[in-house]
């Protein structure tokens, strides 16, 4: 699943695209230019390490958008994880 956050002047480039594959093998965060969608920067994480993700995003955007992005990752990571393990009840 993929979501693009169109942030504008509060982020380097203006757009941040977050991708989580169905296999849960990694989390990819692309920092994109707002006008022509060229790649400005890219982060790839092979596990869900919220502190590391927040630290890297802190260089690119404001704390409000960091919270929005990490909350979306957390929600969708859990949805995929629970879908893959139906015996796991939380």
Per-residue pLDDT of the chain (90 residues; tens, 9 = 90+): 999 999 988 888 999 999 998 888 899 999 999 999 999 999 999 988 888 999 999 999 999 999 999 999 988 877 665 556 555 555
Q: How many CA atoms lie within 13 A of 59 on its CB side?
A: 9
User: What is the Cα–Cα distance from 78 to 73, expressed in whole angstroms?
Assistant: 8
Expressed as residue numbers, the domain containing 19 is 2-84
Is residue 27 in a domain? yes
In a domain, 53, yes or no: yes
Total domains in the chain come to: 1
Evaluate whether residue 61 is within a structural domain.
yes
Residue 89, domain member (yes or no)? no
Residue 43 lies in a domain: yes
Query: Please, are residues 26 and 45 in contact by the beta-carbon 8 Å criterion?
Result: yes
Q: What pTM did the predictor assign?
A: 0.82
Decide if 90 is inside a domain: no
């Amino acid at each position: 699943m993929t979501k693009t956050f169109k942030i504008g002047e509060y982020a380097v480039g203006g757009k941040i695209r977050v991708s989580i594959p169905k296999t849960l093998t990694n989390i990819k965060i692309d920092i994109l230019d707002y006008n022509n969608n060229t790649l400005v920067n890219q982060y790839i994480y092979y596990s869900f390490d919220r502190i590391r993700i927040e630290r890297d995003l802190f260089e690119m955007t404001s704390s409000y958008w960091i919270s929005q992005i990490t909350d979306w990752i957390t929600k969708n990571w859990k949805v995929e994880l629970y879908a893959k393990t139906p015996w796991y009840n939380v």
